Structures are given as structure tokens and as C-alpha cells.
Chains A and B, each alone.
Chain A
């Protein structure tokens, strides 16, 4: 079960080596929230007065009780929701009032891992992982190598043609992670990525996330798993309580300057 992805970084020249289409050099903040509130329909606010910044290359854990607003906050980060008030800036650009046509460009810089994997069931593992590359316009020749390498990296080289229904929960999670990172995102958002996997696999996934983080990807993971948090030294903790952020140190509002990040 131990694949080449475990705890290691991809080799040079792999799909992680893509330097194309990236504009992130020199960005201090990947995400900035300014007095952000979110409500669904006419209900009460599920997120209130969020003020924080995620610095480039940071590693964050988002914690909080069920219903605290973690998933809603992540939705704002991966642009599945717009705030009902306040301002959200991603990669230095104002997102709150961005046109719908502008959003795909930013979504391509964000990798998302869902707790329920969200794999397209009628596509093979290969096609699921290839989807972001194809959406970006890569040719089949450009897709094949990186996808096979990525599947190998997550230990699923021999399951490329398998449909999600024939994969175990852990295998589906790894396919989902491969899909999230195939574009080498600037920001990786993961919602309870270890919620459906055993402890050993959770550990392997964390190796993958830290490897990505070392390559410059800002990572934010929503989790209840204290063990996971404690096993990741240098990560910052973001805690939500009833839709508001608990930031006793003030580090999230005023993070250290680049070069002195949490890592």
C-alpha cells in the first residue's frame, strides 16, 4: 500500500514542476477577509465579522465544533459562495464583487479536497484527476504524463481506469487529492480530508499536504483531528466559534511578514 507518494515530494520535472500560468511570486497574502459575514437566504448569519489573512506558503488548520461555520468559510475561500457583507480578497484581487466570468480564473489556482470526495462517478480515476488540466485547455499529450505520475504519487498507478464506485474510501480520497493538486494550486483547501480514512492513511495524506506546502502552496485544512494538528509543527490554528473567529494572538489579523511565516 506504500506508494511513492508517501511522505515524499514528486521528482523534479513532474506535474508539480509546472511553473506555467502562475502569477503568485511575491504575494504576501493569499486570502484576506475584511469584516466578512455570510448568511444563507434570510436565515441568521453563519459567519460574522471575519477578519484575517492567510499568508502565502502558510499552513493552517481550521477547527471548531460542528456547525461553527468551517465549511461555509471554506466555501468562501474556494469561491463557491460570495459573502453577504464585507470584502474577500484572493491573490490580491477583490472577489466580493468579481464578475461571474472572472471566477474560473481564480478557481484554477485553488485546489479543493472535499470530505465526500466529489468524484464524478462515471469517469475513471484518470479522467477525474485529468479534469482540471483539460479544463485549463491542456492537450491529451500534455495530460497523460502528469496524470499518470500523479496517480503513481498517490499510490494508484494501477487503478487509473477504475471508476470511483470500485475504489475504497481511502483510494477515492487520494484520487480527490490528486485532482486537487494536479494544477499545483496556490491555495489548497481541504474539508475534513482525513474524516473517512484510517489513521495510517491520514498520516500519509498529511505528508502529501506538507510536501505541497513546502513547494509553496498555502494549505488550509478543516479538521477535528487534534492528533493531526499536533503532528504538524509550525501550522497555525484558526478556530471558529458560532461563526466568528477566535484569534487570541492576533496573528491571523496581522500575520508575520513574508520570510517570517508560521512555518
Chain B
């Protein structure tokens, strides 16, 4: 099935030339590099979104303005059937968190910091009743579902994830277009050889195999080169991503993601080869 990839030396001599031929491997390499980086970003975003969604699905907090009556609020929450991991966040921790985002201003006493009680609750929990009890414990206290407050962030993450997928597809289409141009250019360059081959009885498939093989090798060289470079860049980013990890909860690429990224250059090569074959066959069939 793949025997076309293994040409004899005589077949290789038919098209002449050696080494990296023209711009095709470089173009494919650039496409492959960009595709792997964008795909990795998309997968990391997807993982981040999943982590955030899982972490916030059953997580709630009660915000108590100025922290007045926070103990009563915490007691009301603990009394709610199904509520667990109830925790009253110390004001010092709140300011420490704010300091990460706001700098030294986050620790300023002038900055009002609300009291915060966090807890987990299953979907069966009676949140309406809790809301009433919390309001009774501290006027102005507000029950917030984390999934609601982080909803816009999650939607943005999902959107970026789809955007990266669209970019990967667009890059694939651009690579295919480059292969179409490269194939037509190669046919033009070797028009004489093709005419002679046809003249002595070569079939379109025989001619196509020569070009298909060459473009497959060009695409493989370029896409693997681009992917290796992308892997280096991603490793460098990952090494310095502790800050990002803290923000996103440490989302990383899974083994399945890495396998998918590793297969991307081969997928690109397969697409380039198929496009080259279809282009060459279609162009040849326009002749006599």
C-alpha cells in the first residue's frame, strides 16, 4: 500500500535533484511549527477549561460585606444538609490573594475586604433555603455559585479552544494550497520528462507516484522539522510557566494530548501527499 514511497534509484533519477527542493519543505515546516504551537495552546486551554469547570461545578461562596456576622453565616452553611468543606477564609489569606493581582496595594488596610465562606454543595442541596438563612445571619450576605461567576471566563476559554482548532484547520488548508502550487510547479518543471514518459507508455499513476513520493518526503521533512522546533518552544514555555500554572490551577498537556501533537506532523504529511496526488492526477488528465 505504501510501496510508492520506496522508489528505486532509477525512479529517483527520473526527476533529478536531491536534498531540500525549493520552498515546499520550508513552507510545510513553518505551517507545521505554527500548527503544533496553536494546537498545543488549544489543548492546554481545553484542559484549563475542564479543570476550572470541574473545580467550580459544586463550589459556592458566601460573601459577607465587611465580614460582619461571618461566624453566623458559617454556622448556617454548616447546618445545610449536604454542605461540606465549609471554610471561613481568613482576612489575611484574602489580602494575600489580592496582593498577587494588585501588588502591595492589596495589603492596604484602606482596601475593604469582604468576609468569605466557601463550601461544596451537591446539586440536591436546597440553596434557596440556604440563601434565606444566610440573609438572616448577616444582612447583605450574598450566595454565589462559582460556576456562575466564572461562566464568562469558561466561555472565553471554550471560544479560544475552538479558535485554535479553526486556526489549525486553516493552517492545514494553507499547507494544502502550498502543496497544490508546488505540485503544479513541479509538473511544469518536469513537463518534458512527463511527455517522454507518457510517450513510452507510462500511465498517469506511474507519473503521479514520482511526484507524490517527492512531495511526501518534502512534507515529511518539513513537518517533522517544524514539529521538533515547536516542541522546543513549548518545552521552553512550559519551563517558565509556573506563574501561568498558578493562575490556571496547573493545567498541562496530557499524554493523549502529546500523542495527538506528535501525530500532527504525520497528519500534515498525509494531507500534503493526498493533495499532491490529487493535483498531479487532475493536472495530467487535462492533457491529451
Interface residues of A (CB under 8 A from B): 78, 80-82, 100-101, 104-105, 107-108, 112, 118-120, 122-123, 127, 130-132, 134-136, 140, 143, 179, 183
Contact = CB atoms under 8 A, between A and B. Distances in A.
B285 A100 contact: yes
B288 A82 contact: yes
A251 B288 CA distance: 31
A131 B196 contact: yes
B199 interface: yes
Given A82-B288, A101-B204, A120-B192, A130 B199 contact: no
Interface string B192-208: 11011111111110100
Contacts of A123: 13-14
B16 interface: yes
Given A104-B203, A107-B201, A140 B10 contact: yes
A100 B204 CA distance: 9
Contacts of B202: 104, 135
Interface string B1-25: 0000000101101101000000000
A81 B195 CA distance: 12
Nearest to B206: A135
Given A131-B197, A135-B197, 8 more contacts: A80-B288, A100-B204, A104-B198, A104-B203, A127-B10, A127-B13, A132-B201, A135-B201
The 4 closest A-B pairs by CB, nearest first: A108-B201, A122-B16, A107-B201, A132-B200
5 contacts: A78-B199, A81-B288, A127-B14, A135-B201, A143-B10
A101 B200 CA distance: 14
Contacts of B203: 101, 104
A225 B16 CA distance: 37
B198 A130 contact: no
Contacts of A104: 198, 201-203
Nearest to A100: B285
A135 B288 contact: no
A243 to B, nearest CB: 19
Contacts of B199: 78, 80, 107, 112, 118
Contacts of B14: 120, 123, 127
A183 B10 CA distance: 18
A132 B14 CA distance: 12
Given A80-B288, A131-B196, A135-B206, A122 B201 contact: no
A127 B200 CA distance: 13
Most buried by B among A81, A118, A183: A118
B284 to A, nearest CB: 9
Contacts of B288: 80-82
A107 B204 CA distance: 13
Nearest to A180: B200
A261 B260 CA distance: 71
Contact of A122 (B10, B13, B198, B285): B13
A136 B10 CA distance: 14
Nearest to A109: B201
Nearest to A112: B199
A140 B8 contact: yes
A135 B200 contact: yes
Contacts of A127: 10, 13-14
Contact of B200 (A81, A105, A108, A122): A108
Interface string B173-207: 00000000000000000001101111111111010
A136 B201 CA distance: 8
A54 B192 CA distance: 29
Contacts of A81: 288
A143 B8 CA distance: 13
A107 B206 CA distance: 14
A107 B199 CA distance: 7
Contacts of B198: 104, 107
A81 B203 CA distance: 16
Nearest to A179: B200
